[in-house]
A and B are shown apart, each in its own frame.
Chain A
Amino acid sequence: MIKAILIFNNHGKPRLSKFYEHYNEDTEQQIIRETFHLVSKRDENVCNFLEGGMLIGGSDYKLIYRHYATLYFVFCVDSSESELGILDLIQVFVETLDKCFENVCELDLIFHVDKVHNILAEMVMGGMVLETNMNEIIMQVDAQNKMEKSEAGIAGAPARAVSAVKNMNLPEMPRNINIGDISIKVPNLPSFK
């Protein structure tokens, strides 16, 4: 079972946290910090598995992670999951995000937390893997978007005006942060703040 899915950047800022077991708010933040601490000190070409920190349950749990440019994707799983399988799942997740957002970058995760959650929900449910086929996942996400569009109507009008303003307000927003060809071990791209 997957106990938690965490995404944070190279500085440890959480970009997504999804716990499939209940912890209180403080503990969740501590787990994120602890996990960041464990994962970030590892070299680039060591293996992608390590034993979990004490807060998340110690050596009964494994952290399986991948590092893409500025982001760490970490899955905390118990022994009933296949390590390589989870590694593939992370890859599917990132590829799906990449398709949905067209060259996904860290900012997409920040500004579209809800969308990222929805995509994740199509893959993992209550800590179990729901779907691993990318086309199927994207089909579901597309269907949701269609429904959203059809519902938008008048209420959606202000939303459509956002795009121009949004970019204006973000002087520091970097352009075209590409996560490479998504094969793991992306060459070190310049990271942004």
Chain B
Amino acid sequence: MPAVSKGDGMRGLAVFISDIRNCKSKEAEVKRINKELANIRSKFKGDKALDGYSKKKYVCKLLFIFLLGHDIDFGHMEAVNLLSSNKYTEKQIGYLFISVLVNSNSDLISLINNGIKNDLASRNPTFMNLALHCIANVGSREMAEAFASQIPSILVAGDTMDSVKQSAALCLLRLNRTSPDLVPMGEWTARVVHLLNDQHLGVVTAATSLITTLAQKSPEDFRTSISLAVARLSRIVTSASIDLQDYTYYFVAAPWLSVKLLRLLQCYPPPEDAALRSRLTECLETILNKAQEPPKSKKVQHSNAKNAVLFEAIALIIHHDSEPTLLVRACNQLGQFLQHRETNLRYLALESMCTLASSEFSHEAVKTHIDTVINALKTERDVSVRQRAVDLLYAMCDRSNSKQIVAEMLSYLENADYSIREEIVLKVAILAEKYAVDYTWYVDTILNLIRIAGDHVSEEVWYRVIQIVINQDDVQGYAAKTVFEALQAPACHENLLKVGGYILGEFGNLIAGDPRSSPLVQFNLLHSKFHLCSVPTRALLLSAYIKFINLFPEVKPTIQDVLRSDSQLRNADVELQQRAIEYLRLSCIASTDILATVLEEMPPFPERESSILAKLKKKKGPGKVPDMDEARWNVNGNTEHSENTEPTNKAPSHPFTDLLNMNSSPAAGASLLVDVLSDLSSPAPTPTTGPGPGPTDVCEEHFSRFVCKNNGVIFENQLLQIGLKSEYRQNLGRIYVFYGNKTSSQFLSFSSSVTSSDTLKTQLNVHTMPVDPTVEGGAQLQQILNIECLSDFSDTPVLNVQFRYGGTLQNIAVKLPVMLNKFFQPTEMTSEDFFQRWKQLGVPQQEVQTIFKAQHPMDTDVTNAKVQKTASLYLKPLCGGGVGLILKCCNVSGFTTRETLNRSFNGSLNL
């Protein structure tokens, strides 16, 4: 007998559905639906009280309309009435409507909660189940608040029906996911663990799910579950299938529960207890053995269920990573699956092998399957499977097979699906770098990559090849020769042109001896592609040209002609125009020496984690990229790079900034200073009067760098770099703020402003020039701040930057390094005057003295200069209004310095 008799429908509902299905057009359908909605609405609003049957019918209609994708904004109240009914049928439809349609922030929640509360208290298992389902399906915070404390007691009560226990376990699991803070841990936890011994396998399954989630959060509390889980698993695995009656699925004993138990065990390391451990190993071996037995049924369900358990067992073996024999057996089993006729098994085998490849015990065993995997990449019809094959090749790659794997991936790339090309490009780039025995191979590989899939080569990839070429002396000549040859192709990708422009600009001289690649030939080759490129590439090429002028004086007139042409000097693009003008002037007026200094070869990049790897991690999400073994990663340990690879780095502004910075302090002096000051500031009494440092999330990471420097980078994250250039004269200052967009997409609604505390506003005038609301990818925006110091101040203004990136609003606050010492001017006085003033400062609060050991040899001049410029900043809390400072610094004995700082009301240093 069928469980649902087909005749029991509701007539009105059936008619309505048939009407909809007979509609010839979308418009007719919408019309019919609107008519029905109006009808239901009037019925619900009507004076006549509806009976349960009609309400149920209308609610069903609403459900159907909702499924068709129409918004339902009424009927909730009727649904709540239905669920409060005593009739099962009405209650059920009420709950159904609520769990399908009500979201967590409905204002009806309190009414619904009331109904649920009554049902939970009803002791009718069917009603309780409905209520628990509703809580689990809606899972809102209000519900968690109302019921989270009640459900554990239902779960562990001795007299609760099995089906209710099942629901209660999962309901609790759901609440623990949505509002973990509201689910109280307590004495029930120990009793939950004992549900693993329950008679009813459904209850055990639900409890295992619950315990797995709880154990991930607090492993210690649930450690006792290990032994129970192993015991249970062992009983299932070794039982004859008839023992478990209904839970045998196509001749496999309780597959679902086995999977859940194996998942639970993956929350813990291998059991320490030897007996327990050997029992678990026995289970795992039995599961592996069963895979070799002839199938008990030809049905695919049988093998599915069996393999579900097998894959989970293998996952546990890999997780434990401690039994070499099991690992190798697992690997062999997966190897069999790689050639299985079931596509699903091939897919899963490739996926599991990926994790297996990272185990030291089985890495070699995985490698033996390389040919099968490569074959899968070539012949598999399903893109999901091919993608897993790519992942596995990436995971199994090491020095011995890297050339083969990279070559195979490159050849696959030629006809790979567009959706996975970028990922393959990243993987090839990483493998090529990581396992490069010689860098010529690396350069060849990357250039091939650009040739085959130039559009999918992200900036990180071509930045990286340039970094490596710059850091590796021995590959520079080869790289120059190779890019030169690659550029000969009639059509080459813009990325290739970027790499080519950069490398020839740096190392073109290495191949200039050959008449086939003489300076002029190189230049003409690059310039022949110039007009086809986008603006950033042209800008990069202009930089390459000016580098050419330095490398090859003989082509100077030719290049100057190009720079002088109207299409450059009057280019509509500001960046190109500026570069052309500046480069032209530079080449005209600078002497050879200056040119050589300014246009010197790029220094090696500092070592960092590969940005390509970072990008791949970001793309795949953490944990999805098998972490590179440090030991295996060292091939290029010396070639890591920095983020400063934007083409604009080659713009003359960069070397100029360095020149301007020449009078700034040497690094050693700066670090000495910071040490001195941090020592000084900590014992100083903290004033209670001084205004606080501002909101806590204000970035002041690089703030201290600017104490005695005026230029540099004040803030940097993945998106944005903020650089400052500042100049001060008397009581006036001007700061140029440079906002660099590090991404490849636009920042929208960009705005920046400077905020000061109320006190500070009266002391310091900051005038901000407006900025452009969009910042293009890779572009830099400049903003000017004019500052006027009205009186002495101790607070710091904050620069607030706001912009929209990829739809999310970014808010950045940075402390602006405008300090009192920026407005200091020294004053000359005779020693008599000085000591006269010095002696006037006799009041005890006016003196603070600290003696400490210097960490570096003292250079009196440097230290004096630094301390004068900076000390007052750190001592500002000591100063009241209208304060100056007298500072004495004497070199007492060798490395001990004494500094005496006095507080006075007549500054010896002019403010």
CB of B355, distance to nearest CB on chain A (Å): 12
6 contacts between A and B (CB under 8 A): A49-B384, A59-B624, A88-B255, A112-B4, A141-B3, A183-B300
Chain A residues in the interface with B (C-beta under 8 A)? 1, 14-18, 20, 22, 24-25, 29, 32, 42-43, 45-51, 59-60, 80, 82-85, 87-89, 91-92, 99-102, 108, 110-115, 117-118, 121, 125-136, 138, 140-145, 147-148, 151-152, 155-156, 158-163, 165-166, 169-170, 172, 183-184
Question: Which residues of chain A are near B60, meaning CB under 8 Å?
Answer: 113-114
Question: Which residues of chain B are near A15, meaning CB under 8 Å?
Answer: 67
Mask for B339-350, Cβ within 8 A of A = 1, else 0? 000011011100
Q: Which of B63-114 contact A (CB under 8 A)?
A: 63-64, 66-69, 71, 87-89, 92-93, 96, 100, 103-104
B256 touches A126 (CB 8 A): no
CB of B494, distance to nearest CB on chain A (Å): 27
Question: A101, A132, A183: which contacts B249 (Cβ < 8 A)?
Answer: A132
B11 touches A100 (CB 8 A): no
Question: Which residues of chain A are near B300, meaning CB under 8 Å?
Answer: 183-184
Mask for B1-44, Cβ within 8 A of A = 1, else 0? 01111111111011101100110000000000000000000000
Question: Which residues of chain B are near A183, meaning CB under 8 Å?
Answer: 299-301
CB of A180, distance to nearest CB on chain B (Å): 13
A126 touches B3 (CB 8 A): no
CB of B140, distance to nearest CB on chain A (Å): 9
Q: Which of B93, B205, B620, B621 has the most CB of A within 10 A?
A: B205
A133 touches B246 (CB 8 A): yes
CB of B183, distance to nearest CB on chain A (Å): 14
A169 touches B18 (CB 8 A): yes
CB of A56, distance to nearest CB on chain B (Å): 14
B382 touches A43 (CB 8 A): yes
Contacts A84-B305, A88-B301, A114-B93 given; does A159 touch B8 at CB 8 Å: yes
A145 touches B4 (CB 8 A): yes
Closest to A162 in B: B11
A128 touches B173 (CB 8 A): yes
B347 touches A47 (CB 8 A): yes
Question: Which residues of chain B are near A129, meaning CB under 8 Å?
Answer: 205, 209, 256
Question: A118, A136, A142: which contacts B246 (Cβ < 8 A)?
Answer: A136
Closest to A28 in B: B69
CB of A111, distance to nearest CB on chain B (Å): 6
B163 is an interface residue with CB less than 8 A from chain A? yes
Contacts A84-B305, A84-B311, A132-B205 given; does A126 touch B6 at CB 8 Å: no
Question: Which residues of chain B are near A112, meaning CB under 8 Å?
Answer: 4, 9
Measured CA separation A43–B21 after assembly (Å): 28
Question: Which residues of chain A are near B805, meaning CB under 8 Å?
Answer: none
Chain B residues in the interface with A (C-beta under 8 A)? 2-11, 13-15, 17-18, 21-22, 51-53, 60, 63-64, 66-69, 71, 87-89, 92-93, 96, 100, 103-104, 126, 132-133, 135-137, 139, 163, 166-167, 170-171, 173-174, 177, 201-202, 205-206, 209, 212, 246-247, 249, 255-256, 259, 263, 299-301, 304-305, 307-308, 311-312, 343-344, 346-348, 381-382, 384-385, 387, 620-621, 624
Question: Which residues of chain A are near B18, meaning CB under 8 Å?
Answer: 166, 169-170
Measured CA separation A21–B8 after assembly (Å): 32
Contacts A49-B384, A130-B167 given; does A160 touch B8 at CB 8 Å: yes
Question: 3 tightest A-B contacts by CB?
Answer: A126-B136, A163-B7, A84-B308
Closest to A148 in B: B89
CB of A108, distance to nearest CB on chain B (Å): 7
Measured CA separation A81–B9 after assembly (Å): 36
Measured CA separation A15–B21 after assembly (Å): 13
CB of B159, distance to nearest CB on chain A (Å): 19
A155 touches B52 (CB 8 A): yes
Question: Which residues of chain A are near B206, meaning CB under 8 Å?
Answer: 128, 130
Question: B2, B9, B343, B621: which contacts A166 (Cβ < 8 A)?
Answer: B9
A101 touches B4 (CB 8 A): yes
B384 touches A50 (CB 8 A): yes
Question: B93, B137, B346: which contacts A126 (Cβ < 8 A)?
Answer: B137
A142 touches B3 (CB 8 A): yes
Question: Which residues of chain A are near B93, meaning CB under 8 Å?
Answer: 114
B347 touches A144 (CB 8 A): no
Contacts A88-B301, A126-B171, A151-B89 given; does A47 touch B382 at CB 8 Å: yes
Question: Which residues of chain A are near B205, meaning CB under 8 Å?
Answer: 129, 131-132
Question: Which residues of chain A are near B67, meaning CB under 8 Å?
Answer: 14-17, 113
CB of A96, distance to nearest CB on chain B (Å): 9
A121 touches B52 (CB 8 A): no
Closest to B174 in A: A126
Q: Which of A151, A159, A183 has the most CB of B within 10 A?
A: A159
A49 touches B347 (CB 8 A): yes
Q: Which of A15, A126, A184 has the most CB of B within 10 A?
A: A126
CB of B123, distance to nearest CB on chain A (Å): 16
Question: Which residues of chain A are near B137, meaning CB under 8 Å?
Answer: 20, 125-126
Closest to A24 in B: B103
B69 touches A14 (CB 8 A): yes
Question: Which residues of chain B are near A100, meaning CB under 8 Å?
Answer: 2-4
Measured CA separation A32–B166 after assembly (Å): 30
Question: Which residues of chain A are near B621, meaning CB under 8 Å?
Answer: 59-60
Question: Which residues of chain A are near B305, meaning CB under 8 Å?
Answer: 84, 88
A48 touches B170 (CB 8 A): no
Question: A17, A59, A84, A140: which contacts B344 (Cβ < 8 A)?
Answer: A84
B64 touches A113 (CB 8 A): yes
Closest to A115 in B: B4
Question: Which residues of chain A are near B2, meaning CB under 8 Å?
Answer: 99-102
Question: Which residues of chain B are near A47, meaning CB under 8 Å?
Answer: 343-344, 346-347, 382, 384-385
B96 touches A169 (CB 8 A): no
Measured CA separation A118–B93 after assembly (Å): 9
Question: A14, A48, A118, A130: which contacts B96 (Cβ < 8 A)?
Answer: A118
Measured CA separation A104–B875 after assembly (Å): 83
Measured CA separation A100–B64 after assembly (Å): 20
Closest to A32 in B: B69
A126 touches B139 (CB 8 A): yes
CB of B714, distance to nearest CB on chain A (Å): 35
Measured CA separation A59–B625 after assembly (Å): 13
Measured CA separation A122–B184 after assembly (Å): 27
B92 touches A144 (CB 8 A): yes
B6 touches A128 (CB 8 A): no
Measured CA separation A43–B89 after assembly (Å): 42
A125 touches B381 (CB 8 A): no
A160 touches B202 (CB 8 A): no
Measured CA separation A85–B301 after assembly (Å): 10
B100 touches A18 (CB 8 A): yes
B88 touches A148 (CB 8 A): yes
B104 touches A151 (CB 8 A): no
A48 touches B344 (CB 8 A): yes
Question: Which residues of chain A are near B13, meaning CB under 8 Å?
Answer: 111
Question: A51, A59, A162: which contacts B9 (Cβ < 8 A)?
Answer: A162
